[in-house]
Structure 1
Amino acid sequence: MAYFISGLTGEVVGRYQKRNLWHPEREHLTAWGKEGGRHRGFDIPGLTFPDGTPVRGGMLICWDMVFPEGFRELIGDGVELVVIPSFWLVTEDFGEGDEGERERARRGEEEFLRGVVVTRAFENTAAVVFVNAGGLSQVGLPGVGNQGGVMGVETEEMRVVEVDLGRGRGLERRYKIREDMRGVEWGYGVYHGEERKGGGR
């Protein structure tokens, strides 16, 4: 379970239980099941766009990031900032093949993490904040890529990264990704924005 706590009031404004458990976790943890409903966002207190509308945030946890459907459900609820707390270790021993094969597997996983954050930001016109205790923490912005760089793998760091949340809205006006997903021709069935009347952008 992860909580989004308002920096202004200290209140819990969002909570999320991981839906997609990584295979070693399954015998120890309980995933949030489909009966729990769809991924939902929340308004972030004190964070607004220039027109006064609140910024909507949403959360996923670690392995959830692999699956685009969770993002689509959040975007369908008007989310513009997705925060992903994680404990994804790219340094663990993959245990198969010779050292060269294991090193290629580690590098491949590192490249995946570098790329998936930016990909999810672009394909959803939303800022994606990946906060990983195992390294490679980063902020992905649509139309920008990594904002503030990618943190190291075996280092302890903290960065304050300025994020222009208006980028997503600007790109939506240009590419109309969310508008297309709300349209009748959208054939993938995982975007649920029509249920939130007046929602999204």
Structure 2
Amino acid sequence: MKFRIAAVQFRINRNSIEKNLKKMEGFLKNASGKADVIVFPECFLTGGLSMEECLKNADSKGRLRKAFQNLALKYNIDIVAGSIIEEKNQEFFNACYYVESSGKLLGRYKKINLWLSERGKLSPGSQACVFNTKFGRAGLALCWDLMFPELFLKMRKKGVEIVYCPSLWFSGKKFPAHKRHNQNAAYEYVNSLCKARALENNFILVYANAVGKVNLSDGSQDECIGRTQIIAPIRMVLGKLGDKEEMLIEEIDTEILKEAEKAYGLGLNFKDKN
């Protein structure tokens, strides 16, 4: 199946959820009629805030989810709404939604593999999220999940064809190990992991990262590295951005997955191990 995906490399406004919502709508307006699915980065509404401020602004009544549903309907486009901090029964989760162009919520994923600053403040999810869309079987992951192949293997076993991975990956140039050994480590991690997860599981990966400053748990700041990209087996990098705010639009054809399976027979190897 052929369809078009827009991956937004979003520069987060550090002071206002409402300004970020307004910017989101600008990208939706631009993508409407040009793409079938649009993907935003992790925490793209609140990523400029400290974790404590994010928790204070947690969505406990579904206001932001309803806003995403209304926007999907208004602009007739499926939305992977990055992620928001969601509160339920006094627990906080980093949650990602997939909203169909009809406004229907098709997928909701709670981040399983939490980053350092999220641990102890957010609760991890426990379930891989795979669901049917008009464009095939889709799955959701978030940022640091990329480091853990077992999540993606679970999605493969559920028949996933395309995985959407919103991210808030920053440079880490202030980390002592990065300073000592390789200040470009973050870029190499992202590029390597995106390819590895897509190729080892034979699915298409859409990775949407932010750009601009983010606040760290120690009160300092860092820069998100961008490198938004779409990876497909055999064809490899369908499109990739640098470190500027912009939107990547690419046509996807899921038939490449059948061709890759025929060429490499990954499914046979997985069956042998089960």
TM-score tier after normalising by the smaller chain length: 0.7 to 0.9
Question: 1:94 touches 1:105 (CA, 8 Å); kept in 2?
Answer: no
User: Which residue of the other structure, out of 113, 116, 126, is the alignment partner of 2:190?
Assistant: 113
Per-residue CA deviation, residues 35-79 of structure 1 (Å, 9 max, x unaligned), is xxx41410113x2xxxxxxx1000111101111111100000000
Q: TM-score, normalised by structure 1?
A: 0.77
Does 2:163 align with 1:79?
no
Higher relative contact order (CA 8 A, sep 6+): 2
> SS of the residue aligned with 2:166?
strand
Q: Which runs of 5+ in 2 are unaligned?
A: 1-94, 211-223
1:179-194 correspondence runs (5 A): 179-183=268-272, 186=273
Deviations 1:84-125 (A, max 9, x none): 0111112x442427xxx5285331220111121112111111
Match of 2:142 among 56, 61, 73: 61
* Mapped contact 1:40–1:73 kept (Cα < 8 A): no
Alignment-mate amino acid for residue 72 of structure 1: L
**Correspondent of 1:152 among 238, 242, 256:** 242
Would you tell me which structure has more strand in proportion to its own residues? 2
In the alignment, is the contact (CA less than 8 A) between 1:93 and 1:102 conserved in 2? yes
Report the alpha carbon displacement of residue 17 of structure 1 after superposing the two structures with TM: 0.4
Of 125, 131, 136, the match for 1:32: 125
Q: Helix, strand or coil for the counterpart of 2:132?
A: strand
Which residue of the partner structure matches residue 174 of structure 1? Answer: 263
Does the alignment pair 1:94 with 2:174? yes
Over 4 Å off, 4+ runs:
none
Is the deviation greater in 102-111 or in 74-83? 102-111
* Number of equivalenced pairs: 166
State how far apart, in whole Å, the 2-side matches of 1:117 and 1:84 are: 9
Distance 1:103 1:59 in 2: 34
Asked whether the 8 Å contact 1:129–1:140 carries over to 2, the reply is yes
The code of the aligned residue for 1:147 comes to L
2:151 maps to a residue whose letter is: G
**2:182 partner SS:** helix
Q: Normalising by the residue count of structure 2, what TM-score does the alignment of the two structures yield?
A: 0.57
The one-letter code of the counterpart of 2:97 is Y
Q: Is the 8 A contact 2:140 2:163 kept in 1?
A: yes
Distance in 1 (CA, whole Å) between partners of 2:267 and 2:107 is: 23
Q: Is the 8 A contact 1:13 1:44 kept in 2?
A: yes
Instruction: Please name the residue that 2:14 is paired with.
Output: none
Deviates more, 1:116-125 or 1:79-88: 116-125
| SS of aligned partner of 2:188 | helix
Q: What one-letter code is carried by the residue in structure 2 that aligns with 1:137?
A: T
Gaps of 5+ in 1: 48-54, 188-201
